[in-house]
Each structure stands twice: as C-alpha cells, then as structure tokens.
Amino acid sequence: MHVLLVEDDLILADGISRVLRMHGMAVDIVATGDTADMLLQHSDVAVLVLDIGLPGIDGFEVVRRLRARGNALPVLLLTARDAISDRVRGLEMGADDYLVKPFSTLELIARIRALVRRSSPQSHELQIGNLSLDQFSKRAYIDGKPLELSVREWAVLEYLIQQIGRVVSKQQIIEAILTWNEEVSLNAVEVYVSRIRLKIATSNLSIRTIRGFGYVLEKAEQHDA
C-alpha cells in the first residue's frame, strides 16, 4: 500500500513514516502543499495523509484542488486543531476522515486501513484469527469447521466482526441487521449475542458486554494491529 504523507514537521513526518513502514506500507514524504499538489497530478498513491497547517498552500487547498481534478483518492487530514470549523471545513473540502494530533500509531493505521478498504472493492472473505466469514454464502467457519448460525445470528456476527474492537450499542446492532418489515427488540439482540458467544467459544474471539450499552468483539490477543 502506497501512502503519500504531507507533513512539514520533520520529526513527526519521520515518526509517521517509520510506523507506517513498520506496518508494511510504502511512504513518500513531502513537506509543502505545493509539492504535494504537484506530485498528486502525476503519481498514483493509495492514500493521502495530509497535514492542514502547511507552508504555502494549506491542506484544505490541496484537497480542494485534488477533488477539483476529479480525483477520488482517500484523504486523511491531520490537524492540530480540533475546532469544529476545522473539522467541518476539512470534510466539506472533500477529505474522507481527520485525525487530531497527537494520535497513536494504532489509530493512524486503523484509519488508513479503513479508508483504503472503503475505496477498494470488498472481498467476500473475512479472516480474523481462526474464524473466517464468507460474506457471499453467508457462512462462518472456525478452523475450517462450519458454524451453525441462524440468519439473524449470522447478521449480528458479521456486523460485530466488521466493527471488531469497536464498542457497538444494541441499537446499532438492531439497525444493522434490520430489514424493512421486521422488528427486533433489545432483548432479542441479547439472545442472539449469547447464542453467538456459545458458538464461537472455541475461536480466539470473544464478545464482551458493555453494561447497559452494548458489546465489543475482541480478539484474545490484544493490541494486534
């Protein structure tokens, strides 16, 4: 995966490029908006990580020009300001996501991967630990052995896996699995989750309950990016 990093703070740029390379990404660094704008007209990268406060033309302008050329390249804005106007303006200019400095490596990697996933065609296969999902046939396997899941259970598991590591509310689960003429109660969600929990007991995934709110699907080994 090729990342173009536009950041004028050399130490931060160096740090970002190191951690990105550590996670198997190729990184090009430029320090000004003008250079970035020029490069973006010719080279082909998978994702643009762009600081807002740059010498010369700023990050907003780089995105604006990029979008004006009809380029749909995923853009992650880095900002030192968390002022509302900055966020809103960045997203209005056509950025896909923003990250407020200082951020952690895990956050940065997760955001970049999410952006790239969104922009590239989905694969039908999802593999997390020893559990694999075939989204085409709607079947799940642990160590290659198929799991017996109802349609609803499969939908809940698929959603939890898509949101792995993230806390999801019961309401979000309902909205995710709902089809147009059905009603699902909060209690029903609890039942599905407890059944799924039993069925994936042999996997290295676990579903943790967030009291009074929802669930988070976690991998047994934490902090594995």
Partner 1 sequence: MHSIRVTLLKWLITPLVLINLIGAGLTYGLAWIPAQTAFDQSLADGVWALIPRIKEQNGQLQVDLPSEAEQVLRVDHFDSMFFVVRTADGKPIAGDHDFPLLQPSADIDEPLAYDGYMRGDPIRITAIRTLIGNKQVFIGAAETLRKREHIRNLILSSLIMLEILLTLILIGIMWIAVTRGLLPLKKMQSDLGQREHNDLSLLESRHQPLELQPVSAAINELLDKVRESAAGQQNFLADVAHQLRTPLAGIKLQLEWLQPKLQEDTEMAHSTRLMMSSTQKMIRQTNQLLALARAEPSRFEKTQLIRLELGKLVESSIQHFVTESDKKGIDLGFDLRAALIMGDPYLLSDMIDNLIDNAIRYSHVGATVTVRCHTEPDGSAVLTVEDSGPGIALSDQELVFSRFYRVSNKVNGSGLGLSIVRDIANDHGARIKLTSGGGRQGTIFSVHFPPTST
- Applying CB under 8 A, the residues found at the interface with partner 1 are 9, 11-12, 14-16, 18-19, 22, 53, 78, 80-82, 84, 100-105, 108, 166-167, 169, 210-213, 216
The Cα-based distances of 34 to 69, 100, 123, 140 in angstroms read 15, 23, 36, 49
Shortest reach from residue 105's CB to partner 1, in Å:
4
For the beta sheet containing 75-79, the strands, ordered from the edge strand earlier in sequence to the opposite edge, are: 26-30, 2-6, 47-51, 75-79, 97-100
Q: With respect to partner 1, which residue has the nearer C-beta, 42 or 211? A: 211
CB of 141 to partner 1, least distance (A): 28
Instruction: Decide: 112 and 162 in contact? Cβ < 8 Å.
Output: no
**What are the residues facing 98 on neighbouring strands?**
77
* Cα torsion 14, 17, 20, 24: sign: negative
Q: DSSP code of 122? A: P
Which CB sits closer to partner 1, 81 or 117? 81
Question: Both tokens of residue 130?
Answer: 């020893």
Question: Whole-number minimum distance, CB 51 to partner 1, in Å?
Answer: 8
Nearest approach, Cβ of 64 to partner 1 (angstroms)? 22
Is the Cβ of residue 81 or residue 118 nearer to partner 1 in the bound state?
Answer: 81
Nearer to partner 1, 108 or 157 (CB): 108
Rounded Cα distance between 110 and 33, Å, is 25
Which is nearer to partner 1, 9 or 58 (by Cβ)?
A: 9
Residue with tokens 């396997």: 141
* Minimum CB distance to partner 1, residue 50 (Å): 14
